[in-house]
Structure 1
């Protein structure tokens, strides 16, 4: 088992800088290339610089040189700026399990930046997990079961229905643009008579970091599988419709079902292995999206955390 890991925290005192956004900007410019620092520490938390929403853009330009749109994202978000989004709009009383952003996709963001625009009254931490630790925490039976990869399926409605629409998912009204994207993503797709779109993708269950060569758990099987929502919710969903017709579903690569207890083990051990990062207004966290998974703890109050991503 890998040793205990925590994100690297940077404060104005650590940086020898003023407790302002300009102090942080000066510190980041002094660092130069951030890539080796982020790869070494896996996650960087910037606290106490009191960055405001209006000052965020200049900070993001340094932390995320090439911001990406959330195209083909599967979670509900609101776009609030130029490739800046709210974090997942999931009911605040629930935990969001660990995941690497868009690990189900052909291409995923290399970096994620979180910004606390408004801290919660209680709770609301972002748990982060070392992908190596998560992989090692799983039973050999589970790791071996996923060796062949996973098959993700999405059913995206055309404007009305359960889950997300294909227009919202791909940020376009053009079917040809969607098809061009999916062809590049090596996905299979089918337009249906009711205007919905079915997308299927075959992906590996683990990945190796391009710099370190480290193998990490890197898939979202537990979030795409109904059992990840709990046994009662899963049972209710299966009564409504078969698994293959749900907004999203996942199987082993050969199409065989993934046992429910595999899914709950993945979900639970990811959360058990995680470190909580609590939020205060003005905090930021930058993570390597391959080396580190993230989630969300339940909270009370008007928590507002924004997220942006880059390649």
Structure 2
């Protein structure tokens, strides 16, 4: 195996850090003993395990891991805001796998870092799989990556308060249309307010990007998650059979409008998952990932599971 195939996230324990096994110990390590920027670029993902970070002590940890935390604006995953730019990781039904993706890769503004905090590990399952974006790109067939070289066209139909999917108010955390327009102004997106109060957004985005520090090229799009064939949710798949693509809550094509074959969406989804390594949660874990270099997902689970997420530029 080469280095890309052998990659796993780095696990940092109190013994390795030379710190006490508490949230305060982790805070001192991050503040005084770690070159976090370089460590994250080198390792791509870091699991801080054994420090027992609970929700009451999470804020100062986040301040060190995520300077300048971002709101989850323009996100399409169902989640609840539980603190200062702190959210539940997802509220997608537990029986479904969430396929690999880089957070907000379809948007003009995406975070460079993501932090996950496990407050309660699931009874069974519930791992967060991580995939090296270079490995994912290398796993795809040449004809597929060639077709995607021109980029991806994403379409969103956000309702105005009642309808399928998310509302634009929830998506942008505001009910002010002008504020939404200001947010989208820099994105070069096509924006259309619908007569029913909804909002249609069309965006063209690259399928791959290069990391600004390493120049590494990675697969960086959500074509499979926006494609009916890539969904594990039978209800969503059935909806796509009876509604025109342009009227679905979200849809995707190649940049020039060419439909993406079902088998390509499935290939992207399945090879991303097959190339991933699982972070099996222990309550109190904190995971930090470089959102450009590493994609993430979620395995199905049983029982209660509480994982929180925050992000920064």
TM-score, reference length from structure 2:
0.97
1:131-172 CA-to-partner distances (Å, cap 9, x unmatched) read: 000000000011011010000000000000000000000110
CA contact (8 A) 2:189 2:204 kept: yes
Does the C-alpha gap of structure 1 residues 231 and 65 become closer, same or farther in structure 2, counting only changes over 3 Å?
closer
| Residues in 2 aligned to 1:232 and 1:305: alpha-carbon distance in whole angstroms | 25
For 1:37, the equivalent position in structure 2 comes to: 39
Aligned residues: 311
For 2:164, the equivalent position in structure 1 comes to: 162
> Which ranges in structure 1 are unaligned for 5 or more consecutive residues?
none
For 2:129, the equivalent position in structure 1 comes to: 127
For 2:300, the equivalent position in structure 1 comes to: 298
| Residues in 2 aligned to 1:310 and 1:31: alpha-carbon distance in whole angstroms | 21
What pairs up with 1:69-88 in 2 under 5 angstroms?
A: 69-88=71-90
Q: What secondary structure does 1:146 align onto?
A: helix
CA contact (8 A) 2:114 2:291 kept: yes
RMSD: 1.2
Instruction: Report how far residue 277 of structure 1 moved.
Output: 0.1
Aligned counterpart in structure 2 of residue 212 of structure 1, from 205, 214, 217? 214
| Residues in 1 aligned to 2:81 and 2:137: alpha-carbon distance in whole angstroms | 33
Q: What secondary structure does 2:225 align onto?
A: helix
Aligned counterpart in structure 1 of residue 238 of structure 2, from 236, 239, 243? 236
Does the C-alpha gap of structure 1 residues 79 and 230 become closer, same or farther in structure 2, counting only changes over 3 Å?
closer
Moved over 4 A (4+): 230-235
| Residues in 1 aligned to 2:238 and 2:30: alpha-carbon distance in whole angstroms | 50
Aligned counterpart in structure 1 of residue 148 of structure 2, from 146, 149, 166? 146
For 2:186, the equivalent position in structure 1 comes to: 184
CA contact (8 A) 2:102 2:296 kept: yes
| Residues in 1 aligned to 2:233 and 2:73: alpha-carbon distance in whole angstroms | 31
Does the C-alpha gap of structure 1 residues 33 and 15 become closer, same or farther in structure 2, counting only changes over 3 Å?
closer
CA contact (8 A) 1:227 1:234 kept: no
1:230-279 CA-to-partner distances (Å, cap 9, x unmatched) read: 59656522333111111000000001100000000000000000000011
Does the C-alpha gap of structure 1 residues 275 and 235 become closer, same or farther in structure 2, counting only changes over 3 Å?
closer
TM-score, reference length from structure 1:
0.98
For 1:257, the equivalent position in structure 2 comes to: 259
CA contact (8 A) 1:209 1:290 kept: yes
> Which ranges in structure 2 are unaligned for 5 or more consecutive residues?
none
Q: What secondary structure does 2:95 align onto?
A: coil
